[in-house]
Amino acid sequence: MKEAVTDILKHSQLSITESRLKILELFTKHNKALSHADIEKISSKNFDRVTVYRTLQTFVDKGIIHSIPTADNSVMYALCKETCTEGHHHDDHVHFICDECGNTYCLDNIDIPKVTIPKGFSTHQVNVLVNGVCKSCK
CB atoms within 10 A of CB 116: 7
d(CA 55, CA 22): 11
Domain definitions of the chain by residue range: 2-132
126: DSSP letter: -
Residue 112: pLDDT band with limits 50, 70, 90: confident
Question: Does the model's pTM come out above 0.85?
Answer: no
DSSP 16-63: --HHHHHHHHHHHH-SS-B-HHHHHHH-SS---HHHHHHHHHHHHHTT
Beta bridge partners of 129: 95
Can you give the length of the chain in residues? Answer: 138
Sequence-distant (≥ 6) Cβ neighbours of residue 86 within 8 angstroms: 12, 61, 62, 63
Q: What is the CATH number of domain 2-132?
A: 1.10.10.10
pLDDT at 90 exceeding the cut of 60: no
Judged against a pLDDT cut of 80, whether residue 87 lies above it is answered with no
At 92, the pLDDT band (50, 70, 90 cuts) reads low
The tens digit of pLDDT for each residue in 37-72 reads 888 888 767 778 888 999 999 999 888 998 887 777
Residue 26: the pLDDT is 92
